[in-house]
Structures are given as structure tokens and as C-alpha cells.
Amino acid sequence: MSAATRNGETAAEIAAAVRSGTRSAREVTDAYLGRIGAGEEAVHAFNLVTADAARARADEIDAMIADGHDPGPLAGVPIALKDNLCTRGVATTCSSRILAGWEPPYTATVVERVVAAGAVPLGKTNLDEFAMGSSTENSAFGPTRNPRDPSRVPGGSSGGSAAAVAAEFAPLALGSDTGGSIRQPAAFCGVVGVKPTYGTVSRYGLIAFASSLDQVGPFANTVTDAALLLDAIAGPDPLDSTSIRAEWNPVISAVDEGIEGLRVGVVTELLDGIDADVAARLSEAVDVLRAGGAKVGDASVPAAIHGLAAYYLIAPAEASSNLARYDGVRYGLRVDGVDVADMNAKTRGAGFGAEVKRRIMLGTYALSAGYYDAYYGQAQRVRTLVIRDFDAAYRDFDVLLTPTTPTTAFEFGDKTGDPLSMYLSDVCTIPTNLAGHPAISVPFGTGANGMPVGVQVLAPALGERAMFRAARALELGAP
């Protein structure tokens, strides 16, 4: 059964109905707010639900339509926003005590773009604190639960956004992906999750974790809806110095082009340590692609096996620099001390959780005098090898195929006592972040425990159109 069938109406259908006048944006918004009211206590997908603002926005869209104006491709579609995307005058916390109650003076570009496309923001979703985690157990405001099985995690760090879509609280959501934080929770919750090419979506207003890795992307119930949302948020932004200056080539027109002749490579290095039921779904995905006319073979990205080690030096190093701004002076939490240094230490000690502190310390150590070349410098050299190996693979293949995660969603507490075990949840997703390439996770059946399995399609930089073609074929052939 496809995600679209399981979860009812699609974003594309909602937008078409609102634009034609057969449904009002207010009616749609009220329906989704009702679902949140009925189910949020059990799931905790949101840190904040902005019901009054959502209804006001829906009324604006209905007024535009009544006046004969087109609100945009996402007309009246409710959307959930990860709580690390700045929204002017709306609390944006990164699920951290150090930012509790902070209201940004500006709005992230991606939020402005979804609003301009006609979407209706419903609120801010829960996440692992400062996007550091793979289970949404690290939130200062409590964990999010997987709507498919509340005893299991939704993945992370964008667990709230994935859970919001899976629970039918919103047909669309935005998350951020630094090492798999969109794709891994998408796989665990049985929804579609996309990490675009680095630089195709503005990071202006995304509260930074690791600036050379972070990227904003969509969650949706269908590949088509994900394409619709990606087209709405992608494109150059003068406010982001890392934004790609070329105009975005829309992907929505490529979704249904088919995969006849598409060259697909299965990355052999990312098959070790994969649970048998996940490996079985991947094998079935290969069969679906072959049946659709794709040419499938084995691909090799040798340096991918070192991706996890390189990532957990590069990302914490950048985090230790980015999080230095939370000092009790400029904004956020302040715990008084006898002097500035004492105040700073007490503020950070009280404001940051255990995982954030762990990564700050790891990153600071990796950047320290005497260790920089041995750790951070070496990790960057490995990153270069990963990029080169991907480039070599893409000379033979148009897209690559891997599992999204080694396992299905695990139970709460299973990995919290063993950080390395938790980090291994992202072993299949991290290489793509190091390379800056796009990737998409598509629901593809279930594991032995009945929980969703995700299959991941990778593509070279700006190769989203081929990636979406393969993803759509997998969606149509999913068990």
C-alpha cells in the first residue's frame, strides 16, 4: 500500500481543490488543527502550534482566491516547520533550554518561500537539541513518538517533522539534514524525505549546526508532493553566501518521466551491517527498478566506509564554533555568575543538554592546537576522498541506491547509553552530506517488526531530476 493511499489526501490534491474553490483554505486548516488537537498529546510532534496565525493565513488565501488571484502552487496546504527555522515573532528554540522563548527578529528564506507559495504554517516541530541526534530523544522539551508505534523513536534530528506528516497532522513539513536528519526519520516514520544538493535551498534563517553540511528539505507522503515543496523552496538567495546562483530547474515535471534506460548503481560498501529485513526490501527495490527499464549494477564508493568517522570530527568542529555565540550575553538564557566567565560557564552548563555538550567538547578538541591536523584536517582529506569516489561512481551510473538506515525504528532507550551505536544509525546517509549531493528516502515496505523501511536514492550534485524519477518508480512499485 502506498503512502498516498495510507495517509489520504495529498498536498497536490489540497492545493488543486483550494485553488478551484471546491474547498476553502480555512476548512483545510481547521481539519488539520483538529487532528493535531486529537493526537498531539500522544505523539508530541510540535513544540508550538500557531493555530490563530494559521487560521488568519488561511483566511488571507481564501480572500485572494475570492478576488481572482492565484495564491501559488501550495495554496492552502498546511505545513509544519522544524523548530530551527527562524520565524519573526514566533518562538524558535532548537529544542534547547538555552533558546527557550526566543523570538527571532527575522524569518528564514525557506519559510518566506512556502508562505509565498500559498502554504499555511501550523507551528514548529520538535527535534534533537540543535539538530544533534538520531532519535529526537535529545529534545529539552521531551521526546517525539513514532506514530507507527509509540514505543519506538521517530528518528532524528527532524523527528517532529517526520512524525507530523506520518500522523497526518500536516501533509508537508520542512526539516534540516546535516548527516541524515531528514532521510533517517523519514525512513523510520514511513514518509518521503529529501536532502537537496547543498546550496540549492537557502540556509538563511536556519539556525546553524554544521554550516558546510546543513541543508533544508521536504517531508511529504508522496514523491510528487516532495517535488512540489522542493520546487517552492529551491533557488538562489542573495542572503545566503553559499547559495547556488544558477536558477533552479524544477523537478515536478520529471517525476513521471519513467526510468527506461536509467543507470542505477547499488553501493556495495553500504550493505555491511544492514539488518536482513532491510536488505530484503532493498533487493526487492532493485527488482522494481529493473522491471521499470532501469539498468542496475553494483557500484563502489570505497571511501564511504570512512564517512561516519570523518563526519563526527567535521560536524562537531563546526558546531563548537557555531554554538560559541550562546554565551548569556547576546540573547537566550542567562544564568548570573560572579563574573563574565562564571556567568558564561553557568549559562552553557544549564542551557545545553548532554549530547550538545559532548559534541562541543569533541569539536573543540579536534580544532585545538596540536590536534587540528591529526583530526579535523585528516577528516577533511577523507571528505575529499568521498567526493572523488562518488564522482567516479557517477561516471558509470545516473543514480545510486542504498538502504536509508541499517535497521527499522528502534525502541526508546535502546541506544541512548551508547553514543556510537546511535551514530551508526546514520552510516548510510552521512556520505551524501559530506559530498554535498542530493538524496531521497522513499518508503518501501516494512521490516519483520512491521515498521517502515526506507530505500535511499542518491544522485550527483544538481541531479535531482533523475533522482525523483527513480524515487517515483520505487513508490509505484512499493509493497
For 51-107, write each residue's pLDDT tens digit: 999 999 999 999 999 999 999 999 999 999 999 999 999 999 999 999 998 999 999
Same domain membership, residue 323 and residue 238: no
Confidence (pLDDT) at 330: 86
User: Do 104 and 176 sit in the same domain of this protein?
Assistant: yes
Please indicate, yes or no, whether residues 373 and 249 belong to a single structural domain of this protein: no
Asked if 214 contacts 178 with a C-beta cutoff of 8 angstroms, the reply is: yes
Q: Has 157 been annotated as catalytic? A: yes
Of residues 24, 82, 139, 195, which has the active-site annotation?
A: 82
**pLDDT at res. 420:** 82
Residue 3 clears pLDDT 80, i.e. is over it: no
| Least confident span in 84-93, 170-179, 408-417 | 408-417
Task: Say if residue 4's pLDDT is above 50.
Answer: no
In this predicted structure, the answer to whether residue 293 has a pLDDT above a threshold of 80 is yes
Average pLDDT over residues 292-319: 97
246 and 325 belong to one structural domain: no
The answer on 82 and 197 residing in a single domain is yes
If asked whether residues 145 and 32 sit together in one domain, one would say yes
Mean pLDDT of the chain: 96
Q: Which of the listed residues 218, 236, 256 is the one where a domain comes to its end?
A: 256
Domain tally for the chain?
2
**CB-side exposure of 240: number of CA atoms within 13 Å?**
27
Pair 218, 311 in one domain = no
When pLDDT is averaged across residues 278-299 and rounded to a whole number, the result is 98
Specify if 127 maps to a domain. Answer: yes
314 and 230 co-located in one domain:
no
Q: Which of 380, 401, 423 is the last residue of a domain?
A: 380
In a domain, 282, yes or no: no
Residue 203 has pLDDT above 80, yes or no: yes
The residue annotated as part of the active site, out of 95, 134, 135, 157, is 157
Does residue 455 lie within any of the structural domains?
no
- Provide the pLDDT confidence category of residue 398 given band limits of 50, 70 and 90: very high
Within a domain: 250: yes
User: Which domain-ending residue is among 351, 380, 409?
Assistant: 380
| Inside any domain, residue 216 | yes
* Lowest mean pLDDT across 4-18, 144-158, 185-199, 455-469: 4-18
Task: Judge whether 74 lies within some domain.
Answer: yes
417, pLDDT greater than 90:
no
312 and 196 part of one domain: no
DSSP helix, strand, coil percent of the chain (3-state; round to 5)? 45, 15, 40
Does the pLDDT at position 42 exceed 50?
A: yes
185 and 312 inside one domain: no
- In a 10 Å sphere around its CB, with 0-12 CB exposed, 13-18 middle and 19+ buried, how is residue 414 labelled? middle
pLDDT tens digits, residue range 247-270? 999 999 999 999 999 999 999 999
Mean pLDDT in residue range 212-231: 98
Catalytic residue among 96, 176, 181, 425: 181
Report H helices in 296-402: 307-322, 340-351, 354-367, 378-393
Query: Tell me: the pLDDT tens digits for 336-389?
Result: 999 999 999 999 999 999 999 999 999 999 999 889 999 999 999 999 999 999
Look up the CATH number of the domain holding residue 79. 3.90.1300.10
Whether residues 62 and 186 fall in one domain: yes
> Residues 108-135, buried b or exposed e (16+ Cβ, 10 A)?
bbbbbbbbebbbbbbbbbbbbbbbbbbb
472 falls within a domain: no
Average pLDDT rounded to a whole number, residues 198-215: 98
**Residue 363, in any domain of the structure:** yes
pLDDT of 5 > 80? The answer is no
Q: Please give the pLDDT value at position 7.
A: 47
Nearest to 124, CA basis, from 164, 155, 167, 183: 164
Question: Which domain does 172 fall in, by range?
Answer: 3-256
Residues 27 and 112 in one domain: yes
